[in-house]
Structure 1
């Protein structure tokens, strides 16, 4: 784990002594240069998350209580204290004091125009949005923070998007946050435990089923015969599914009307990448997923990425379009 640049902390003065609201003082401390990273390595090795809370997890807490879960997170290169975990929030929020403490500049912000509701039930217009990495133990997750300039006893709020991406479970009762680390070969282990074997139905080795090795021979043969008779109902390739009729349901992008459409300058891919792009476009056109447009308002370049298997994946650079589509923090369930 990379060494922290410093620590961002908050001091709250008692109400009534400083005026109408608590006084908040934020300060940044640097990590001593001579500190060894052996303690961090030991902490990483001892990071053993569980997904069950026991009575012993309440040790060190005062019960009963109604306190929020407040933790310390590595945001960017700083250890940030007093970060509230809110499982009911659909967005991550960062307050302007922390934004300045992280030494970020106003030009680093992306536009964000959807208002938020503050703790005192007032609408707050965000300053913008910024994407930053959050490190918890060995796990690093990038999230979009909505930056607001208003008072809060916390430096930031992390909600469901961060929890779900991390695969974490928060308990305000136990004042703990835990995650589950799945083994790299989880699928192989599950197949081994369940006793599954690969059965190729036709001559194409890419098309196969996994059936239980403990099935009686007669039941196994009946199952395979049933699968052979119904091969046409399985989608062996994403392009086999032709999608949903637009008259039934249709998705529209929430593009900010005040943003000017942008056409990215064309790029010249290599011969290998050009062939991969051509093949992918033809597949999508045959499946009816895309259509040709001669005068587009938005134009984004293709990006070709090589996968671990050596195959090429064709992506689209939607950076400009994403900036023009603000996220809705109050999503419909």
Structure 2
């Protein structure tokens, strides 16, 4: 729990018990710990609720968040969180699912105005390190980077039926395909064993994103027993860095 949240709750500092451990931030800087306390905390979405005793470590640090729940509390609550959907689900004592939603507008204001200007200045100084379009990274050498698919040899290749698009979408597909061809990311083949259709998805800004329907190909690939690192591994990898950009 952050000190600003502690004050907003109008709690007495006398409730804090001394904490003798040390706490360090992501940038390896010491964080001032004011103490810890236990509070009866209610999790509710308006339809269902659950109240538990949660131990909070109160720290004096600037943050856009109010509290951060640790793994012990999440495990005891049997809670599942999703940073993508900005939601957390947990069961109440009767088995009903409680859905906790975060404030998306508040979450977007993680950086102060000064920090936003600092990040923008760093990006401006290193524009050549960023890729804005497919044309910015033409002809990637396969000796430098090559992706290999592990497929089940027993699965027969699938050629999807051709999907028809209207004139507007056909023009978009042609333009996006030409960009990839010009950058050397794709090449034309005459006798494909696997044939997948493209799919157009409309983005929030009204433009179109061209994707490929790899449903059949995904089914032919064995499930990865070692998926991408979870959030804990990502946070541990960011230790010692001042900022992390997703």
Q: TM-score, normalised on structure 1?
A: 0.39
Query: For 1:90-129, what aligned pairs fall within 5 Å after superposition?
Result: none
Query: For 1:8-157, what aligned pairs fall within 5 Å after superposition?
Result: 41-43=46-48, 50-53=67-70, 136=80
**Distance (whole Å) between structure 2 residues aligned to residue 320 and residue 44 of structure 1:** 42
Report the alpha carbon displacement of residue 190 of structure 1 after superposing the two structures with TM: 3.4
Cα deviation code 1:144-180 (max 9, x no counterpart): xxxxxxxxxxxxxxxxxxx999898xxxxxxxxxxx9
Is the 1:239–1:287 Cα contact (8 Å) retained in structure 2?
A: yes
**Distance (whole Å) between structure 2 residues aligned to residue 268 and residue 166 of structure 1:** 36
Q: Which runs of 5 or more residues in structure 2 are unaligned?
A: 1-43, 52-64, 89-99, 230-246
Is the 1:254–1:325 Cα contact (8 Å) retained in structure 2?
A: yes
Query: For 1:199-214, what aligned pairs fall within 5 Å after superposition?
Result: 210-211=120-121
Matched residues, number: 163
Report the alpha carbon displacement of residue 290 of structure 1 after superposing the two structures with TM: 0.7
Secondary structure at 1:308 match in 2? coil
- Counterpart of 1:321 (choices 217, 226, 231) is 217
* Aligned CA distance change for structure 1 residues 195 and 279 (closer, same or farther; 3 Å): same
Is the 2:87–2:102 Cα contact (8 Å) retained in structure 1?
A: no
Q: Which runs of 5 or more residues in structure 1 are unaligned?
A: 1-38, 59-68, 74-135, 142-162, 169-179, 199-208, 213-222
Secondary structure at 2:104 match in 1? coil
Is the 1:197–1:210 Cα contact (8 Å) retained in structure 2?
A: yes
Secondary structure at 2:120 match in 1? strand
**Distance (whole Å) between structure 1 residues aligned to residue 191 and residue 67 of structure 2:** 54
Report the alpha carbon displacement of residue 231 of structure 1 after superposing the two structures with TM: 5.3
Alignment match, 2:199: 303
Is the 1:301–1:317 Cα contact (8 Å) retained in structure 2?
A: yes
Cα deviation code 1:249-302 (max 9, x no counterpart): 421111111000000011111111111111111111111111111100000111
Report the alpha carbon displacement of residue 192 of structure 1 after superposing the two structures with TM: 3.5
**Distance (whole Å) between structure 1 residues aligned to residue 191 and residue 197 of structure 2:** 15
**Distance (whole Å) between structure 2 residues aligned to residue 259 and residue 54 of structure 1:** 41
Is the 1:49–1:181 Cα contact (8 Å) retained in structure 2?
A: no
Report the alpha carbon displacement of residue 45 of structure 1 after superposing the two structures with TM: 11
Secondary structure at 1:320 match in 2? helix
**Distance (whole Å) between structure 2 residues aligned to residue 45 and residue 331 of structure 1:** 33
* Aligned CA distance change for structure 1 residues 300 and 292 (closer, same or farther; 3 Å): same
Secondary structure at 1:303 match in 2? strand
Q: TM-score, normalised on structure 2?
A: 0.50
Alignment match, 1:289: 185
Query: For 1:153-164, what aligned pairs fall within 5 Å after superposition?
Result: none
* Aligned CA distance change for structure 1 residues 260 and 71 (closer, same or farther; 3 Å): farther
* Aligned CA distance change for structure 1 residues 321 and 192 (closer, same or farther; 3 Å): same
